[in-house]
Amino acid sequence: MSDPILRVEGISKTYGGPRPALAGASFELAKGEILGVVGESGSGKTTLARCVALLERPDAGRVIFKGEDLAALREGQLRKRRRGIQTVFQDPYASLNPTKTIGDALGEVMLVHGLAVRKEIKKHVAELLDQVGLPTTAADAYPKSFSGGQRQRICIARALAAQPEILIADEPVSSLDVSVQAQVVNLILDLKDRLGLSVIFIGHDLQLIDFIAPRVLVMLAGEIVETIPADRSIADARHEYTRALMQAVSKLETLAG
Amino acid sequence: MSDVTLPPLRNRGPAWLYEGNWSLRIGLVSFLIILLAAIFAPLVTSYDPIAIDLAKALQPPSLVHWMGTDHLGRDVFTRVVFAARVDLQIGAIGVALPLIIGTIVGLIAGYYGGWVDAVIGRIVDVIIAFPFLVLVIAIVAMLGPGLINLYIALTVVSWVLYTRIIRAETIALKKREYVLAARNLGFGHLRIMFGHILPNAIAPALVFAMSDFALDVQVGATLSFFGLGAQPPTPEWGLMIAETRSMMLTAPWVVVGPGLAIVVVSLVVSLIGDGLADKVRRLDG
């Protein structure tokens, strides 16, 4: 890994509780890489996502994006750099402003950042919708017209409108029907290849993450307990927690089979 | 690569036009009729609301004077219609100013939190601790009688109610993912507050504004009754009742007209409020 686009060094976050939500997490993300993060609920996955996107200020540590420590920036300076790291959230039903049409929501992003002129917004919105596999007529509709999977596509389109370099997918499919999950996962993989995005894909489904991401971080109680490199399968994991997770999955399969 | 089909889009236009919501429809249509009657009062009636004609004093209701005449020979119906101008204005201004101020303050308190919220919260608590009517009367008594001072008093007292509503909504909404997404996208605070939180927080405040409108009309009438609001010979419902209350037993029609007007306007705005509340519930569900 020659030149990482993102380097996270020892970020921690405590929300008033006795135990930190995130305790000194460090990792690197290469350009065009897709990095998996897996862990049970409460293991600090979402806190990690929010701290990397600077939606939460880490208590300690550095988030170095393109050579600059975002965690050290003041809010005003940070705002201009935010569009480089975009997040797709877990709950597609809470992720879209119900009072804005899809076209307005996507157009707003481009107008705020001066990524398109007002006259050409419609064209750019149509392109974005096409990229995520939605018809251009979707631009005139409000979020309530769409299903969970369609909403998640819109959220991806909104993130893409900011022309990001890193996409954080925080359990983007765990609230979707199984039949729709694969479509959204494939869309993210497809976009990564076409646009050269770097992706942090967070989830609790070990097999899904193993399938998507060559390199996987395993989280437990706010710490990264194991990094499974690209050339090794998750099946040969060394840490006892990862092995326990694997065994739980195979036990379930035995029960189901 | 459109591999997804959409459900058919809903009809365009305001929802109350095609969703059955009778209290909202009846309320809005009645309110419009009252408003037009107030604006075009000289066309609705041919009498003068102020000119005195003692020869015609205290005539009971008849075909020429629908609601009779008062102790100075003025047509009661004419005065009730002209008074709607003043009373609707009290309601409108008494709602608009607190709604605007209270909404902005509530957004700021809920969005920024911390010491900003603590300071605003204490001010709100202090004002709410006083009984509403007592505080309005005290402020008007201090500033002097008159409509302008009544508007000031109503604004000072009731902005806090809107602040409370909007603050609570804002605190709930700012944790929503779409607000997080807006921050993540690098939007500024004002854009997030007014573009993303306010449109989703305003509905309960608007529902409350309707009952507040009715309350303001009643408070306006009450203060005018006490001589602290509109001044004679301005036609105003509360003032009309005050001027003629000694004749209430011998010539009841002099108070029935303005009294009915207050009841009808309160009822109409309550209908609108009910209809709006119903719509808000349906949006949430």
What is the per-residue pLDDT across A125-159, written as a single tens digit (0 to 9) for each?
A: 999 999 999 999 999 999 999 999 999 999 999 99
Tokens of B161: 């109610």
The shortest CB-CB distance from B200 to any of A99, A134, A155 is to A99
Q: Which residues of A touch B3 (CB under 8 A)?
A: 133
Six-digit token pair at A11?
A: 């970020």
> How many angstroms from the chain centroid is the CA of residue B89?
9
Asked if the Cβ–Cβ distance from A145 to B191 is below 8 Å, we say no
**Across the interface, do A135 and B4 touch by the CB < 8 Å criterion?**
yes
Enumerate the residues of chain A whose CB falls inside 8 A of the CB of residue B185. 82-83, 86, 109, 112, 158, 162
Structure tokens at B180: 């997080």
**Residues sharing a CB contact under 8 Å with residue A179, sequence separation 6 or more, in sequence order:** none
A46-60, A207-221, B1-15, B91-105: least confident range: B1-15
Q: Which residues of chain A does B187 touch, with a Cβ-Cβ cutoff of 8 Å? A: 79, 108, 112
- Strands A223-228, A34-38: pairing kind: unpaired
Residue A38 touches chain B, beta carbons under 8 Å:
no
- The letter for the amino acid at B255 is V
pLDDT, tens digit (0-9, with 9 covering 90-100), for B108-130: 999 999 999 999 999 999 999 99
* Distance between A210 CA and the closest CA of chain B, angstroms: 27
- The H or E element spanning position A210 is helix A206-212
pLDDT at B13 over 70: no
E strand or H helix at B198: helix B198-225
Pull the structure tokens for residue A204.
């609790």
Nearest CA in chain B to A82: B186
Task: Tell me how far apart the alpha carbons of residues B46 and B52 are, in angstroms, rounded to a whole number.
Answer: 15
Q: What is the pLDDT of residues B182-200, one digit of tens each?
A: 999 999 999 999 999 999 9
Determine the pLDDT at residue A93.
92
Q: What is the pTM of this model?
A: 0.86
The tens digit of pLDDT for each residue in A1-24 reads 457 999 999 999 999 888 899 999
Instruction: Please list every residue in chain B whose beta carbon sits closer than 8 Å to the beta carbon of residue A82.
Output: 183-186
Size (chain B), residues: 285
Complex confidence, ipTM: 0.91
What integer is the mean pLDDT of B32-59?
91
Q: What are the beta bridge partners of residue B260? A: none
Task: Classify residue A194 by burial, with Cβ atoms within 10 Å: 0-12, 13-18, 19+.
Answer: exposed
Residues A150, B1: C-beta atoms closer than 8 Å: no
> What is d(CA B240, CA B188) in angstroms, rounded to the nearest whole number?
52
Single-letter residue type at B159:
W
Residue pair B245/B189 in contact by the 8 Å Cβ criterion: no
What is the C-alpha end-to-end distance of chain A, expressed in Å?
41
From A93's Cα to the closest Cα of chain B, the distance in A is 9
**Mutation for B interface: A56, A78, A99, most B CBs within 10 A:** A99
> What is the model's pLDDT at position B285?
42
For residue B191, the chain A residues in CB contact (below 8 A) are 112
A63 touches chain B (CB under 8 A): no
Decide if B9 and A140 are in contact by the 8 Å CB cutoff: yes
Q: Is the CB of residue B212 less than 8 Å from the CB of residue B218?
A: no
What is the average pLDDT across B244-257?
Answer: 91
Interchain contact, B4 vs A98, CB within 8 Å? no
Say whether A89 and B181 touch across the interface (CB within 8 A): yes
- Please report residues of A whose CB lies closer than 8 A to that of B188: 79
State the nearest Cα–Cα gap between B46 and chain A, in angstroms.
48
Tell me the H-state helices in B9-146: 22-39, 41-44, 76-112, 114-129, 132-143
Query: Chain A within 8 Å of B282 (Cβ-Cβ)?
Result: no
How far apart (Å, rounded) are the C-alpha atoms in residues B36 and A76?
A: 50
Contact of B7 with chain A, judged by CB distance below 8 Å, is answered with yes
- For residue B205, the model assigns a pLDDT of 93
Could you tell me the two tokens for A209? 């993450």
What is the per-residue pLDDT across A22-79, written as a single tens digit (0 to 9) for each? 999 999 999 999 999 998 888 899 999 999 999 999 999 999 999 899 999 999 999 9
Instruction: Tell me how close the Cα of B120 comes to any Cα of chain A, in angstroms.
Output: 24
| Bridge-based pairing state of the strands A198-203 and A215-220 | unpaired
CB pairs under 8 A between A and B: 86
Distances (CA, A) of A86 to A16, A138, A175: 27, 22, 19
A residues 120-149 closer than 8 Å to B (CB): 130, 133-135, 137-138, 140-141, 145-146, 149
Q: The domain at B22-40+77-284 falls in which architecture? A: Orthogonal Bundle (1.10)
Q: How confident is the model at residue B151 (pLDDT cuts 50, 70, 90)?
A: very high
Residues in chain B closer than 8 A to A49 (CB atoms) = none
Q: Is B3 on the interface with A (CB under 8 A)?
A: yes
Average confidence score pLDDT of chain B: 89
Domain coordinates in residue numbering, chain A? 4-87+165-256
Highest mean pLDDT among A150-159, A211-220, B222-231: A150-159
CB contact under 8 A, A86 and B184: yes
Q: Are A49 and A217 in contact (CB under 8 A)?
A: no
CB contact under 8 A, A80 and B186: yes
CATH topology of domain A4-87+165-256: Rossmann fold (3.40.50)
Calculate how close chain B gets to A192, using CA atoms only, in Å: 17
Chain B residues lying within 8 Å of A171, measured CB to CB: none
Count of helices and strands (H, E) across chain B: 11, 0
Q: CA A228 to CA A209: how far, in whole Å?
A: 11
Give the CA angle between residues B79, B80, B86 to the nearest 5°: 90
Note which residues in 93-122 of chain A have CB less than 8 A from chain B.
Answer: 94-100, 108-109, 112-113
Residue B28: is it exposed, middle or buried by C-beta count within 10 angstroms (0-12/13-18/19+)? Answer: middle
Which residues on chain A are in Cβ contact (under 8 Å) with B196?
97, 100
